[in-house]
Amino acid sequence: MGPRAGRAVAALNSFELDTLLIPDARRRRLRGTVRRTVSKACARVGPSRGSHGPPGPPKLGFVATAEKYRRFGAESAGASPLYERLAIALSESEEALRAIDSLPARKRNPALVLAALNDLALAGRAPLLAAAYAAAEGEAAAAIDTLTRMPEAVAEIVVRRQVRADETGRGAVLRPLIAEAAQRAGAEAVGLIDVGCSAGFNLDVDRVGIAYGNGQTLGEASSPVQLSASVVGERPIPVAAMPAVVARVGIDANPVDVTDADEARWLRACLPPDQPERLAKLDAEIALAAKAPPVLLAGDALEALPDAFAHVPADALPVVTTTWALSRLSLEGRLRFLHRLDDVAAHRPLVWVSAEGVGVAPAIPTFGDRRASGHSILGVAVFHGAAAHVEAVGRCWSQGRLLAWLAG
Ligand SMILES: C[S@@+](CC[C@H](N)C(=O)[O-])C[C@H]1O[C@@H](n2cnc3c(N)ncnc32)[C@H](O)[C@@H]1O
C-alpha cells in the first residue's frame, strides 16, 4: 500500500502556450489585394519599423508597454516568427501603443491582444488582417491598422476573454494512465471527470489514436485525432485495454463549449496564425469533442466535484483526471481536493490520474525531482474505502509530447 492520501502535503509550481492554413493558389490571389490595402493602411497608421519608414521611438508614457511587447516578441521567436514580428512592430508603433494603453491595465498583455486581433480576423470583422495573415504579407501594418481603427472591438474582446493555452495532445499521457489505473482498480467501465477541463479534450481520450516514438501504437487508428509522443528510456508504455467510457464530465471555472461557434473560434484565435499544423490538430480535437459533447460543470472544482461524481453510474469507476490544472489551486485548495476524493472513496472506489508539475499534485511522489524543474510527474492514485494507493508512474515533458514510463 502506498501512503495515505489524506496525510499528504504538496507544494507549488508553475506550468507551461499557442492559426490559418490556406492553399497556395488562394494565397497568391490574396497577395495583390493585400498589397493594395496594406499600403492604404500604412498611409493611415504612419511609420513603424519592419513595415514602412524609420522606427519611431515610443513616447515615454508607453515605455513599459513597448518593453512588454518587445520582450514577448523575443520570447515568441521559436514558437511563432509571425508573433515575434507583430509584437515588435506593435512595440515600435506609437499609435498601437496608445490603443493598447487604452485597454484595462490587466488586459494589455501581448498574447491576449494578438488573440483578440486574430479573433476579429477569423470572425470576418477585420478582412484586411485576415488577408494579410492568409498571404503571409503585410501582417504588421494590418495588425496596427486593425488595432488603431477598431480599439472598441479589441477592448470588447479582451475584457471578457482570457488566453486559452493549447490543450491538444494530452491523450498520449492520459490514455495509458487511465487504462493502468482502471486495471489496478479492476474496472471495465469508467466515468471520466476532468478537473480544469477547459474545452474538455481530455474527455475524448478513448477516441484518439496515439503513435509513440518507440513504435508502440494505442487507441483508434481511424480516429480523426492522431496524437504522437516520444518515449524516453527503455521501458515500454503499458498496453492495458482502455475500459469502456460511460460518462464524461468536465469541471472548469470557465469551461469552453466547443459546440458554440464563438467559443471554438476563440480557441483558434489563441493560436498564432503561422502555425497551421497546430491549428489542424486543434480543429480535429474540436470536431471530435463537438460530436459527443461532455457534461460541462461551470464552477469551482472543489464545489462541483460532488455533482460530477453523481453523473457517473454506480456500476462504473469514477476516474478523476487532472492535467496541468492543479497549479491553479492554492496549496490549501489542492489538499482540499485530495480530501474531497477521500470523502467520496468512503462510499465508492475511485481513481485519480494526474500529469502535473513536480510537487503540484498532492500526495503524488516526485522521484526526488526538484520543483519547477520544467517537467511533470505522472501519478496514479487508487482509492478504495479507507485505503489509498498513490504512486508516481512516470515523467513527462512539453505537456506530454515526451514521456518516460517508470512503473514496473
Ligand atoms: C491551465 S488551464 C487548462 C488545463 C488543461 N487541463 C490542460 O491540460 O491544459 C487550467 C484550467 O483550470 C481552470 N480553473 C482554474 N481555477 C479553477 C478552479 N478553482 N476550479 C475549476 N477550474 C479552474 C481554468 O479555467 C483553466 O481552464
Ligand 1 is surrounded, with C-beta below 6 A, by 165, 167, 170, 196, 198, 251-254, 300-301, 323-325, 328-329
Q: What is the pLDDT of residue 61?
A: 64
Cα of 328 from ligand 1 centre, angstroms: 6
- From 328, 376, 396, the mutation candidate for ligand 1 (largest count of ligand atoms within 8 A of CB) is 328
Q: What is the pLDDT of residue 11?
A: 26
Q: What is the pLDDT of residue 245?
A: 98
Q: Whose CA is nearest to atom 1 of ligand 1?
A: 325
Cα of 197 from ligand 1 centre, angstroms: 6
Q: What is the 3-state secondary structure (H, E, C) of 225-263?
A: CEEEEEECCCCCCCCCCCCEEEEEEEEECCCCCCCCHHH
Atom of ligand 1 nearest to the CA of 252: 22
| Sites in the chain below the pLDDT cut of 50 | 1-54
Distance from chain centroid for Cα 305: 21
Q: What is the pLDDT of residue 54?
A: 45
From the list 396, 13, 12, 4, the residue with the least C-alpha distance to 213 is 396
Cα of 257 from ligand 1 centre, angstroms: 14
- From 252, 303, 326, 330, the mutation candidate for ligand 1 (largest count of ligand atoms within 8 A of CB) is 252
Q: What is the pLDDT of residue 286?
A: 96
- Domain segments of the chain as ranges: 5-16+166-257+293-405, 24-160
Helices (H), 186-319: 261-269, 276-291, 301-310
Cα of 325 from ligand 1 centre, angstroms: 5
Are the CB atoms for 300 and 145 separated by under 8 Å?
A: no
- From 192, 197, 198, the mutation candidate for ligand 1 (largest count of ligand atoms within 8 A of CB) is 198
Cα of 336 from ligand 1 centre, angstroms: 16
Cα of 134 from ligand 1 centre, angstroms: 32
Cα of 6 from ligand 1 centre, angstroms: 23
Q: CA 260 to CA 280: how far, in whole Å?
A: 18
Name the grid cell of 113: 491582444
pTM of the full structure: 0.84
Q: What is the pLDDT of residue 48?
A: 39
Q: What is the pLDDT of residue 57?
A: 54
Exposed / middle / buried, residue 56 (Cβ in 10 Å: 0-12, 13-18, 19+): middle
Cα of 259 from ligand 1 centre, angstroms: 19
